[in-house]
Amino acid sequence: MRKGSQPTRIAVQTLRALSWLLVLSALTAFAVVSPTKAGLEVGKTVNVVNQVYAKTLSRRLNLGDGVVFRETVSTREKSAVDIRMIDDSTLIMGELSEMILDRMVYNPNRGIVEGAMEVVQGVFRFSTSDVKMDFRIGTPVATIGIRGTEFDVLSKSTSTEIAVHKGAVEVTSAAGTVSVEPGQVYNVSPDGIGFRSHNSPEMQQAVTTMLALLAERGEDGGRSASQAMAETAELSPVIQGGVRKIQEHLVYMVLATGRIVIELWPDLAPVNVKRFKQLVRQRFYDGLNFHYVRPGYVAETGDPTGTGQGGSGQKLPDEISNQPFERGVIGMTRKKGEANSADSQFFIALGRAPNLDSKYTVIGQVIEGMHLLDQLQPGSPPKRPDKIITLWVAAEVGN
């Protein structure tokens, strides 16, 4: 017995030492996951619309709340949330969506943010920041690898649809791994796996609803938009900045028949988008006619003379991208055969217009109200042209 006691004591001491090492390793790992005061936070809400819940659906998320490692976040009907991650990337969730924030860790040796999340169901938009990433999003039927991009995902138990706006993602499924580039749509479903020419109507509607909800900021149990804005003003500058960043990229167009919501894409055309917003803020477009409307093709406006020949007097450079002219995409009008001749006129695609691809500067897309544009009086110019009552940037609402 005495001969065996020495090895036993050594074994016990060794196990204790290993136990302490494991504890220290775990504490170190948690410290790296988040530099925030919560210790486990991987992000913070910068916009919450109506009913959004965390963990086991027992904690309702409010503006400015943190979300933590391995936390489940879900939304109810007519609800949405915008979460700013610790690396300043953006995760937006639409209604009836659910996902698990698995991990987000800064790796100092590689100088990148590593992480993962699991999408259970719903519609999402993910936009990376300037920090390098090695991030993966898992869905029931595919895995999406991210290194720097903006894309939308619609996920269900048996299918996943991905639409890339900027950068690229790698999608791994039963068919292997493919790279999905800007303007491409990839679908994994029981009906087949592969690229599509455009978003499905279901995805288009889901994304439109998601962005429109966030633009409105939601009623949240009867709160008015002005009340929501007032509450936002009381939050930290970081959160205020996150809300304003979204609203700066949204423009409202009011017609006699209703309101249209436009999402601007400054990353595709920074000079043209900046000038467009400048003209909007100057109320340049208020009262102008849709001087050219061809059903199923385009609706054009932005000319104070109403002839298609006028403008503001400031020419803009071409900022051509590979974003296709899908229904709702907005382009800057320029003179035929003359480069860098865009001014104030712009057009909205009323259907797929492949003949316009890579020829005109894309500045954004209509995300709500396309049915109103379908109702515009046709003609060149129309006999009784419809007018823009007013245009304004969403960030100015309530100011």
What pLDDT score does 112 carry? 72
Kindly tell me if the per-residue pLDDT of 290 is higher than 90.
yes
Residue pLDDT, tens place only, 111-142:
677 778 899 999 999 888 766 777 888 899 88
DSSP code per residue over 323-347: ----TTEEEE---TT-TT-B-S-EE
Read off the pTM: 0.56
51 & 188 share domain: yes
201 & 65 share domain: yes
> Is 7 part of a structural domain of the chain?
no
Report residue 277 as tokens: 């917003």
Kindly tell me if the per-residue pLDDT of 37 is higher than 70.
no
- Cα separation, 10 vs 249, in Å, equals 65
- Cα separation, 364 vs 264, in Å, equals 4
82 & 203 share domain: yes
Kindly tell me if the per-residue pLDDT of 257 is higher than 80.
yes
162 & 275 share domain: no
Kindly tell me if the per-residue pLDDT of 36 is higher than 70.
no
What pLDDT score does 164 carry? 86
47 & 192 share domain: yes
Residue pLDDT, tens place only, 164-182:
877 888 999 998 999 998 7
- Cα separation, 1 vs 14, in Å, equals 20
Residue pLDDT, tens place only, 348-364:
999 999 999 999 999 99
Kindly tell me if the per-residue pLDDT of 281 is higher than 50.
yes
> Is 10 part of a structural domain of the chain?
no
Kindly tell me if the per-residue pLDDT of 163 is higher than 70.
yes
Single residue among 175, 208, 241 that ends a domain in this structure: 208
Q: Residue 289 sits in which domain range?
A: 249-396
**What's the CA dihedral at 177, 182, 184, 190 to 10 degrees?**
40
Ranked by mean pLDDT, the top range of 46-50, 161-165, 189-193, 357-361 is 357-361
- Cα separation, 116 vs 103, in Å, equals 5
145 & 279 share domain: no
What's the number of domains the chain is made of? 2
- Cα separation, 358 vs 347, in Å, equals 15
- Cα separation, 308 vs 298, in Å, equals 14
144 & 281 share domain: no
What pLDDT score does 7 carry? 39
Q: Name the pLDDT band for 313 (thresholds 50, 70, 90).
A: very high
Report the CATH number that the domain containing residue 361 is assigned in CATH.
2.40.100.10
Kindly state the average pLDDT of the residues 79-103.
88
- Cα separation, 259 vs 237, in Å, equals 30
Report residue 362 as tokens: 């894309």
Kindly tell me if the per-residue pLDDT of 53 is higher than 80.
yes
Single residue among 208, 236, 258 that ends a domain in this structure: 208
Long-range contacts of 215-223 (CB under 8 A, 24+ apart): 215/246, 215/247, 215/250, 215/261, 215/368, 215/394, 216/49, 217/47, 217/49, 217/243, 218/48, 218/49, 218/50, 218/78, 218/79, 218/80, 219/50, 220/48, 220/49, 220/50, 221/50
